[in-house]
Amino acid sequence: MSDDPLYERGMRVRREVLGNEHVDSAIARTTDLTADFQDFITRYAWGEIWTRPGLDLRQRSCVTLAVLVALGRLEELEMHVRAALRNGLTADEIGEVLLHSAIYCGLPAANAAFAVAQRVLAEHDGPPGSSGGKEE
């Protein structure tokens, strides 16, 4: 796969967004069952979508956070809050995305998302200043 430009482009942006530690861990956990899936997400999610010129990585992080709130995918939300920080979003901007999501996704979804974001942000560099909302 290393001679596949799509895979290489995907792996580069995947590492940039998620960090080497996360990607190396995911690769280390790859099995015969998950190998095709790892290849698929690296080539298509990261190599095709995340590298398109229409949105920058910050904007893609905002969209991804909102979609994950809407779907209630809290385990992925945690990973993408970290990614949003790597992509240059501030704690306040992440809070704004979650607050905006509350209107369109519902308060329970946003409340759970704020709890995840607060935990990740506290791990990142202590409690966030104003996160744009609070847990109920």
Question: What domains are defined for the chain?
Answer: 5-49 (no CATH), 57-125 (1.20.1290.10)
Q: What is the pLDDT of residue 2?
A: 63
Structure tokens belonging to residue 63: 């969209």
**Residues 3-34 pLDDT 10s:** 899 999 999 999 999 999 999 999 999 999 99
| 8 Å CB contact between 135 and 118 | yes
Structure tokens belonging to residue 2: 């290393």
Q: What is the pLDDT of residue 48?
A: 97
Three-state SS string over 26-81 comes to: HHHCCCCCCHHHHHHHHHHHHHHHCCCCCCCHHHHHHHHHHHHHHHCCHHHHHHHH
Q: pTM to 2 decimals?
A: 0.86
Q: What is the mean pLDDT of the chain?
A: 92
**Residues 59-68 pLDDT 10s:** 999 999 999 9
